């Protein structure tokens, strides 16, 4: 986060605009809307500001800026086309610890003016940190179309009932659940339809019917996908915002974890090779205990919870303890990572079947059905197989697959750190070692790997992404 977004109360406070042109006019109008007393310092004013000054709407000083103009000023905006004056304003304001914004010059600012969606008392501010104001305005325009004007009335009516709801519910979690239920139900639809009085009666009746009891705990078993937050489902996003506590795994990316409700308690339950923060049995019991305390628990897992995620074991324990739960599938690494690597898992010319296996090493070996894996016209996807890659390659070759069989290993697939190593069963272990890969990785073995060269479409940031590609035919 480059800037801390805050909302300032400047009602009846004197704010200074330096400059008298069209840009200054826009800033003056914005400050007036926020209830500020506006003073403008500029030798001349454009017509709108001149009219404002004539009617006493603003105070105009027809002078060049001087530091003494900052006396008793709460906030200042420099909106001239003279860099030297803008810099003088910025330095003088910062010496006096007055918030200052210099239009189109983030380096001289202590705060950034965002693009604003105004549904007062509901306000939404969008900022690019000064990097792309046009992009911020485009996003604001999209939000304007998505958020009806009636949301202002929703916020106002909810505010009228806030004190009463707080008095009724002594349990904060129960109070939050009540508001979430109200705001996502008929109450909102009634206001959108213009039935404000009906909506208020509905809210009052709902409050009277709700008992002030501890909330019912529940567990949400949610698949977070392979790492890219854009691949989350709508349902996953909704539950991530409702949870009181999140229990998350090592494979859940920081970008996804940042999308969980900010005041939710976070518990790390990651498991790495030979180092488990919590054993699986402990995680199972933790989920039960948290739910029994009345909490809504988000169990967030990388990929899909039912594909090598031990989700079945967790909900078995929940069911035995009569804990309500929901399961939200996620995009598993096999489909997500292969798609972003440009490697279809099936293709009528190369593979008519696909099999998923886990490549965990145990006593320096991997216990798999090798004859079944070493079949023609089949794609093999190996989860968690980085350390066992030499064993995997050796066993597949010894059970009948050609050493020239195309193979790929992808690190942090679908993310901006995606790295792809492509070779053959014979060469891939050495190539992966040379590339210094680290988990999470996914291995794909099969003729479909040949398609990567023509089908690769995802282009991560150049400074992060690497693709190691050898000529598979010449190394066959």
- Catalytic positions, written as ranges: 249, 271
Which residues belong to the annotated binding site for S-adenosyl-L-methionine? 226, 302-304, 307, 332-333, 384, 413
Distances (CA, A) of 467 to 179, 341, 342, 415, 456: 49, 10, 12, 14, 11
Count Cβ atoms below 10 Å from residue 434 Cβ, excluding itself: 10
Q: What is the DSSP letter of 461?
A: -
Q: CA torsion 168→170→174→177, rounded to 10°?
A: 60
Return the sign of the alpha-carbon dihedral for residues 359, 360, 365, 366: negative
Which residues belong to the annotated binding site for NAD(+)? 22-23, 43-44
Residue 50 sits at φ, ψ, to 5 deg, of -60, -40
Which residues belong to the annotated binding site? 22-23, 43-44, 226, 302-304, 307, 332-333, 384, 413
Query: Of 388, 316, 397, whose CA–CA distance to 357 is shortest?
Result: 388
Decide the pairing of beta strands 59-61 and 37-41: parallel
Q: How far, rounded to the nearest angstrom, does the alpha carbon of residue 50 sit from its chain's CA centroid? A: 46
**Residue written as tokens 């090779």?**
273
Distance of alpha carbon 212 from alpha carbon 227, whole angstroms: 40
**Which class for 54: exposed (0-12), middle (13-18), buried (19 or more C-beta within 10 A)?**
exposed
CA angle 338/340/341 to nearest 5° reads 60
Distance of alpha carbon 444 from alpha carbon 355, whole angstroms: 10
Count Cβ atoms below 10 Å from residue 389 Cβ, excluding itself: 25
Residue 313 sits at φ, ψ, to 5 deg, of -65, -40
59 token code pair: 């105070």
Report yes or no: 442 and 381 within 8 Å, Cβ to Cβ. Answer: yes
Per-residue b/e over 272-305, b at no fewer than 16 CB within 10 Å? eeeeeebeeeebbebbbebbeebbbbbbbbbbbb
Please enumerate in sequence order all residues whose Cβ is within 8 A of that of 474, keeping only pairs 6 or more positions apart, or say none: none
**Which class for 412: exposed (0-12), middle (13-18), buried (19 or more C-beta within 10 A)?**
buried
Distance of alpha carbon 341 from alpha carbon 335, whole angstroms: 10
**Which class for 468: exposed (0-12), middle (13-18), buried (19 or more C-beta within 10 A)?**
middle
């Amino acid at each position: 986060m480059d800037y801390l977004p805050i909302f300032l109360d400047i009602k009846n406070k004197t704010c200074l605009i330096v400059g008298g042109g069209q840009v200054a006019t826009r800033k003056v109008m914005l400050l007036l809307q926020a209830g500020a007393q506006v003073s403008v310092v500029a030798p001349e004013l454009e017509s709108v500001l001149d009219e404002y000054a004539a009617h006493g709407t603003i105070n105009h000083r027809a002078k060049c800026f001087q530091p003494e103009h900052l006396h008793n000023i709460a906030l200042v905006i420099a909106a001239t086309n003279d860099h030297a004056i803008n810099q003088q304003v910025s330095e003088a304001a910062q010496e006096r610890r007055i918030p200052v914004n210099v239009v189109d010059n983030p380096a001289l600012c202590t705060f950034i003016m965002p693009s604003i969606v105004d549904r007062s008392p509901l306000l939404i501010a969008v900022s690019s940190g000064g990097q792309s104001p046009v992009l911020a305005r485009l996003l604001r325009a999209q939000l304007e179309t998505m958020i009806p004007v009636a949301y202002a009335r929703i916020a106002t009516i909810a505010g009228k009932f806030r004190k009463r709801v707080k008095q009724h519910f002594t349990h904060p979690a129960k109070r939050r659940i009540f508001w979430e239920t109200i705001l996502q139900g008929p109450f909102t639809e009634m206001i959108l339809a213009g039935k404000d009085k009906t909506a208020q009666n509905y809210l009052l009746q709902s409050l009277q019917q709700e008992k002030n009891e501890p909330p019912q705990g529940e567990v949400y078993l949610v698949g977070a996908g392979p790492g890219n937050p854009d691949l989350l489902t709508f349902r996953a996003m909704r539950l991530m915002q409702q949870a009181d506590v999140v229990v998350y795994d090592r494979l859940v990316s920081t970008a996804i974890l940042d999308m969980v409700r900010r005041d939710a308690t976070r518990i790390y339950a990651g498991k790495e090779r030979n180092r488990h923060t919590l054993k699986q049995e402990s995680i199972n019991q933790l989920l039960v205990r948290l739910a029994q305390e009345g909490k809504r628990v988000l169990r967030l897992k990388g990929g899909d919870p039912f594909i090598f995620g031990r989700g079945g074991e967790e909900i078995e324990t929940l069911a035995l303890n009569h804990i309500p739960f929901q399961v939200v599938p996620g995009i598993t690494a096999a489909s997500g990572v292969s798609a972003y690597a440009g490697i279809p898992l099936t293709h009528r010319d190369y593979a008519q079947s696909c099999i998923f296996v886990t490549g965990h090493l145990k006593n320096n070996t991997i216990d798999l059905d090798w004859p079944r894996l070493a079949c023609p016209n089949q794609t093999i996807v190996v989860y968690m197989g980085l350390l066992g890659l030499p064993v995997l390659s050796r066993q597949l070759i010894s059970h009948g697959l050609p050493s020239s069989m195309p193979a790929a290993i992808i690190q942090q697939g679908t993310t901006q750190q995606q790295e792809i190593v492509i070779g053959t069963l014979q060469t891939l272990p050495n190539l992966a070692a040379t590339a210094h890969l680290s988990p999470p990785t996914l291995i794909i073995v099969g003729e479909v790997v040949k398609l990567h060269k023509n089908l690769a479409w995802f282009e991560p940031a150049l400074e992060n992404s690497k693709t190691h590609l050898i000529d598979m035919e010449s190394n066959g």
